[in-house]
Structure formats: C-alpha cells, structure tokens
Amino acid sequence: MKFTIGRDVLTDAVTWTARSLSPRPPAPVLRGLLITAEDNLVSIASFDYETSAQLDIEAHIETEGQILVEGRMLSDIVKSLPNAPVTIELTESRVVVTCQNSTFTLATMPVGEYPALPTMPEVAGTIDGSVFAEAIAQVTAAASKDDTLPILTAVKIEIEGDKITFLATDRYRLSMKEITWTPHDPQISTSVLVKSRTLTEVARSLGGGGEIEFRFATEADDAELVGFSSGGRRTTSLLVDGEYPKIRSLFPEESNIYATVDTGQLIEAVKRVALVAERNTSLLMVFSNGEVSLSAGQGDDASATESVPVQMEGEDITVAFNPSYLSEGLNVMGGAYTRFAFTSAPKPALLTGKKELEGPQNEDYRYLVMPIRIPN
C-alpha cells in the first residue's frame, strides 16, 4: 500500500478518528486505526466495540491496500509534520510515513485480528448541525458523570414526527430540550438512549458541518446502534439498554413565584460568591425587594455576599442550591435573561431563558434544579 495526501487533510482525518480510541481498549488491536486505500479514496476507521468512527478522504493512491497502525502515535506524528504532502507506505511489516525531510517508521498491527466495523443504520432524518450542537450542550448539563449509574449517563431522545425531545438527569437536576428536525417518516414515533459523552463528541465534531444525518434502526430487532454522519464523517454508538426514569412529569406546569435576572450578571456573581463555598456546601439566594442576595461561607474561615437586580412576581423566597449545578445550568441557558419559577421554597426551581426582560420565556429548554436544605 502507498498513497500521498496533503498534511492538513491527513491530520484532520487522523485526529478526528483517533478521538474515538479508548484509553483502555478491550483488545490490543483496538488501539489501532484501520487505514484502507482503494478507488482513489483513503478510509480511516476506529472501533472499540461500543463506538466507531469512519471517514473517507481523497488521496493519490499508487498501491491499494490496508494497514492497522497504532492510532495515537500516528496522530501525534502527523500533527508534528511540516505543511507539505505526506506519503504513507507499507514496506514489508512496517509503515513508513514521509514528509519532506522527515521519516517515521511504525510497526503494523495484525489486520486479521481487527473486528468487523458495524454497519451504519439507515438515515432516519436530518438535523441542522448548529441546532443539534446547542441542544446537546444544554441537555447534557444535567446528565450524570457517575458510571456506577450507567442509565443516568445517557440522554433519552424521544422522537414524535418532526419534534425531538432530549431529556437528562443526574437525580439532582433535570433538563429538557425540544428541537425540530426533518424525518424521512413524518409519522415516526420512537425513543432511544444514547450516552451523553457520545452525543457531546458528535456535537463537537459534526455540529459545525451543516446538516447531520441521524441514523437508527426502525425495526426493534436491529435497534442496537445509533449513527450520525455529516461531510463524509460517520460515527456509530451502541444504544444504552435499560428503563430511563420518567422525568418529563417532574417539570411543573404552573408556578406562583417568578424571578427574572440578567443571566450574565448572575453567572459572574455566582462564580465570585462560590469561591468561598466549600465542597458540597450551598449557595444561599434570597429573592426580596427587587434583588437577589447571594451568600456563601460561614464561620471564621471565609464568607461572601453579592446582590443582583431581579424582577419579581409573587412573594419573597429564600432558597439554597449547589453552586456548580446552578452555574452549569445558567451557562447554557441561551438567553440574555433567566427566569426562575418556584412553587414554594423546598421545591425545585425551574429555569428558562428569555431574550428580553419583558419578553416571553423560551420554553424549548427547561432546567430543573433541586434545592439544598437550608441549615438552621
């Protein structure tokens, strides 16, 4: 095998594909990138039994063939090369990478031991890439990072016709995001569970490339994979198996206390006051007299307070939150203003974004955060 390709194109392809390589692969060959050269296209693929990544790039191919080479090492090498054409050649059992005056020689891995790559599911419809990326950033704010509860590290994706609803929770906060898409079947009705980190990686790598093809099996017997593709890049992931908590009903339909605050001001205030909050301690918020007073820390060590103007509807209220959970929700709110909706002090707060202080709230993203008991 021998082919020549531009350094930037190769670097982009290898870096993207190598991103899916597991740091602790279940088999040594899964540390490798499978590179296939044929029909004037070079295909680069990675697979770890759970996720796969594949892309095709055009190259000048002198000799067709296939190699398996250590992925992270190849990624480091191509990123370090000068901006000039790169030649990759299989010589006996070694891979030689040449660029101008630089030459690297790598050992090959046994192609015959590499598992068959999964077949991409059929395209079910398309989603605008930027809309998808924003939705994933918002909903994954509430997804669990605790692998001992694998079902909560997933995002539930509910599909009804041209509407997709993303749902996530880690038991302490919940998020729900609704977007529209273009399904191939206007009557489609289904739901899938996909790992949060898979969706985050897809949004980061495919979200800026225009339309994303959303792929999943519509027949129950084949409903093990979900796939995404855009701009020649294709990735698959195993679906998460299990029963996701029924969290949609936990979002309150009505509230009797509302507080609207400038999102940027509140983010900065929370960041400053939380500096003195010890781990797992609360941030106290007192909504009263046209402002919200934030405070944290107590005793002789350190404490902080700060006030931010707020527009109130309803009676005054005092609540406490985990400052990290509050900040993570505010950072993805997507509006110049954030509206807090309360039913009463011990109940969760529902956060929604608003573009203007007097304008309507944006109902397509909702973030519900549980309060912390206020110590006596």
d(CA 117, CA 32): 13
Residue 146 dihedral angles phi and psi, to the nearest 5°: -90, 105
Render 121-163 in DSSP notation, one character per residue. Answer: PPEEEEEEHHHHHHHHHHHGGGS---TTSGGGGEEEEEEETTE
Give the CATH fold of the 2-113 domain. Answer: DNA Polymerase III; Chain A, domain 2 (3.10.150)
The pLDDT-based confidence of 267 (bands split at 50, 70, 90) is very high
Q: What is the pLDDT of residue 219?
A: 60
- pLDDT tens, 328-363? 999 999 889 999 999 887 789 999 999 988 878 788
- pLDDT tens, 220-247? 545 589 999 998 899 999 999 999 999 9
Average pLDDT across the chain, whole number: 92
Q: What is the pLDDT of residue 311?
A: 95
Residue type at 19 in one-letter notation: R
Q: What is the pLDDT of residue 133?
A: 95
> Are both 2-113 and 251-369 of the same fold?
yes
Q: What is the pLDDT of residue 220?
A: 52
Choice among 17-26, 129-138, 298-307 with the minimum mean pLDDT: 298-307
The stretch 49-66 carries a mean pLDDT of: 94
- pLDDT tens, 147-183? 889 999 999 999 999 999 999 999 999 999 999 999 9
251-369 falls under which CATH superfamily?
DNA Polymerase III, subunit A, domain 2 (3.10.150.10)
Q: What is the pLDDT of residue 346?
A: 79
| CA torsion angle 84 16 25 75 (round to 10) | 20
User: Is residue 42 within 8 Å of 97, Cβ to Cβ?
Assistant: no
Q: Residue 263, by phi and psi: left (phi above 0), alpha (psi -120 to 50) or beta?
A: alpha
Report in angstroms the alpha-carbon separations of 290 from 293, 359, 360.
10, 18, 20
The stretch 304-314 carries a mean pLDDT of: 94
User: Is residue 318 within 8 Å of 345, Cβ to Cβ?
Assistant: yes
d(CA 13, CA 320): 47
Q: What is the pLDDT of residue 299?
A: 67
Q: What is the pLDDT of residue 20?
A: 87
**Percentage of the chain modeled with pLDDT above 70:** 97
Q: What is the pLDDT of residue 221?
A: 46
Q: What is the pLDDT of residue 45?
A: 97
- pLDDT tens, 279-290? 778 899 999 999
Q: What is the pLDDT of residue 201?
A: 92
Report in angstroms the alpha-carbon separations of 277 from 51, 93, 281, 303, 349.
39, 58, 6, 8, 20
123-248 falls under which CATH superfamily?
DNA Polymerase III, subunit A, domain 2 (3.10.150.10)
For the record, the structure tokens of 141 come out as 């704010």
Q: What is the pLDDT of residue 125?
A: 96
Q: In sequence order, which residues have a C-beta less than 8 Å from that of residue 69 and are 6 or more positions away?
A: 32, 33, 35, 95, 106, 107, 108, 109
> Max alpha carbon distance in the chain (Å)?
79
Q: What is the pLDDT of residue 362?
A: 82
Q: What does the domain layout of the chain look like in residue ranges? A: 2-113, 123-248, 251-369
Comparing C-alpha atoms, which of 75, 11, 12, 35 is closest to residue 209? 12
For the record, the structure tokens of 15 come out as 């870096």
Q: In sequence order, which residues have a C-beta less than 8 Å from that of residue 116 and are 6 or more positions away?
A: none
